[in-house]
């Protein structure tokens, strides 16, 4: 298995496109499986269309499902931070993508995105691991 850690600065961006970084990592590696993993309690990975408004729709969905207020028992950090700790329940911290001939086997409109609602921790790590087939 070959592995590399990406260091991503999200700032206040809740959705960060990782598709090109992932494609670059698998380029020239042949057939196999790319696994992505986020070792954080308040971030996850998603496979969906970016750039056509879906990322903004996801932002609104997260606000509806996880309001940023004082209802959470987990209360350290900024207001509503308890919501950040529930995100990985719906947005998994890991994702696998088939790789054929050194290229991601994504659908036409699929992108790989880091979803991070936690502005208290704007620096993230994403581990990319390639398992040859």
- Whether residue 127 contacts residue 39, with contact meaning beta carbons closer than 8 Å, is answered with yes
pTM, entire model: 0.93
DSSP assigned state of 117: -
What are the tens digits of pLDDT across the range 17-39?
Answer: 999 999 999 999 999 999 999 99
Residue 43 pLDDT grade (very low, low, confident, very high; cuts 50, 70, 90): very high
- Whether residue 122 contacts residue 7, with contact meaning beta carbons closer than 8 Å, is answered with no
- Apex 84 CA angle, 79 and 85, nearest 5: 120
Torsion sign (Cα): 53, 59, 63, 66: positive
Say which CATH superfamily domain 2-132 falls into: YjbQ-like (2.60.120.460)
- Apex 119 CA angle, 47 and 87, nearest 5: 45
Mean pLDDT over each residue of the chain, to the nearest integer: 94
Residue 77 has pLDDT above 80, yes or no: no
CA distance 22 to 29: 12
- Whether residue 124 contacts residue 41, with contact meaning beta carbons closer than 8 Å, is answered with no
């Amino acid at each position: 298995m070959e592995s590399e850690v990406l260091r991503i600065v999200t700032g206040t961006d809740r959705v960060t496109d990782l598709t090109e970084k992932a494609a670059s990592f698998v380029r020239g590696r042949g057939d196999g499986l790319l696994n992505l993993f986020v070792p954080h309690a308040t971030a996850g990975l998603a496979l969906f269309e970016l750039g056509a408004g879906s990322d903004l729709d996801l932002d609104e969905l997260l606000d509806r499902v996880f309001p940023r207020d004082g209802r959470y028992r987990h209360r350290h950090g900024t207001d509503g931070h308890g919501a950040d700790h529930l995100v990985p329940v719906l947005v998994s911290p890991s994702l696998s993508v088939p790789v054929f001939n050194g290229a991601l086997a994504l659908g036409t409109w699929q992108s790989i995105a880091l979803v991070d609602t936690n502005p208290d921790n704007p620096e993230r790590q994403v581990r990319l691991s390639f398992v040859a087939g």
